[in-house]
Structure 1
Amino acid sequence: MTGWTARVWADRDHYELVRARAEPATDPVAVPAFPGEPVEFEIALRGEEIRIGRRGVPDEDPSASVADDDEVPGIDLTGPPRDPGVSHLHAVLLAVGPDRWVVLDAGSTNGTSVNYAAERLEPGTAVPLGSGDSIHVGAWTTITVERR
């Protein structure tokens, strides 16, 4: 059986690109250090829409609890380690047809890019993905999609 998976990982190369492009005084993702013990996980892509983001823990109080009615994203980047550049709803993967996926930025604060591109995606614009493509969000998070 073939299907698509997403490998989520802390990507040192993406992190270094973000740091090189950042203006430390104005860019909130310029400050954090790369996680000492990064977590990697894989998720099967199922359904028609997969939201990428983090649960509703308020930025002002990281110790606050998550609301019971808050929707947990399909690819939950709440952490640990918590990537400070990931928005509550950062991006969305959409199934188009029986075996194709696209990604779109959901109006995130820090943007989304594909395959280490310097340009961020225009919010709401669908970008086709191929097996092996990488989606970059936040300060260090990369999501590599693969058809198996």
Structure 2
Amino acid sequence: MTGGTSGADAPAATGPGSWVVTVWADPDYHELVRARETAGSASVAADFPTTLAPREVVLRGEEVRVGRAGAPAGQDPPEIDLSGPPRDPGVSHLHAVLMALPRDRWVVIDAGSTNGTTLNYGEDPLAPDTPVVLSSGDRIHVGAWTTLTIERR
């Protein structure tokens, strides 16, 4: 994050043409994660949180980091903090980054997360450090149940 300002505000009012991320516990994604686990692998698909309310974050600035607070000393917490409660066990301290592009577009970049980032219920994780252009309505999946739906409003 460059400068001293936050790249996201939660919650915030949206104006025409704003990009908004809705963060929510996605039961369909959670079932996919559980089905993909192989015998003997460490489980990231803990119990699904049934009481977690969705929240909206208006994208601001040029870069919005997604992850969980509690990173090593000297690192700022992510603008989209997925620390919980409840804590999604599959979310890395710095899991993904949303970056603004010219002409009012956004990309998602997996930041080398331990458990990967997928898009729109895809099976294959995004290649780390590789920008993927987003469209309004895309769903970014991180961790064991967390989905971020990006929309232009």
TM-score where L is the length of structure 2: 0.85
Check 1:24–1:88 CA distance in 2 against 1; reply closer, same or farther (3 A cut): farther
For structure 2, the 5+ residue unaligned runs are 1-15
Q: Give the whole-Å Cα distance in 1 for the aligned partners of 2:117 and 2:137.
A: 17
1:103-122 to structure 2, matched below 5 A, reads 103-122=108-127
Amino acid at match of 2:70: G
The corresponding residue for 1:55 is 69
1:139 Cα offset (Å)? 0.1
Equivalent pairs: percent with the same residue? 60
- Aligned pair partner of 1:28 in 43, 48, 69: 43
The corresponding residue for 1:64 is none
Moved over 4 A (4+): none
Check 1:75–1:24 CA distance in 2 against 1; reply closer, same or farther (3 A cut): farther
Task: State the SS of the aligned residue for 2:23.
Answer: strand
Check 1:57–1:25 CA distance in 2 against 1; reply closer, same or farther (3 A cut): farther
Q: Give the whole-Å Cα distance in 1 for the aligned partners of 2:42 and 2:89.
A: 11
Cα contact 2:71–2:77 (8 A) shared by 1: no
1:58-137 to structure 2, matched below 5 A, reads 69-137=74-142
Cα contact 1:39–1:80 (8 A) shared by 2: no
Deviation string, structure 1 residues 87-129 (Cα, Å, up to 9, x no partner):
0000000001131000010000000000000000000011110
Check 1:37–1:57 CA distance in 2 against 1; reply closer, same or farther (3 A cut): farther
Q: What is the RMSD of the two structures over their aligned residues, measured on CA atoms?
A: 1.5
Q: How many residues align?
A: 138
1:37 Cα offset (Å)? 1.2
- Aligned pair partner of 1:14 in 29, 33, 39: 29
1:57 Cα offset (Å)? 6.4
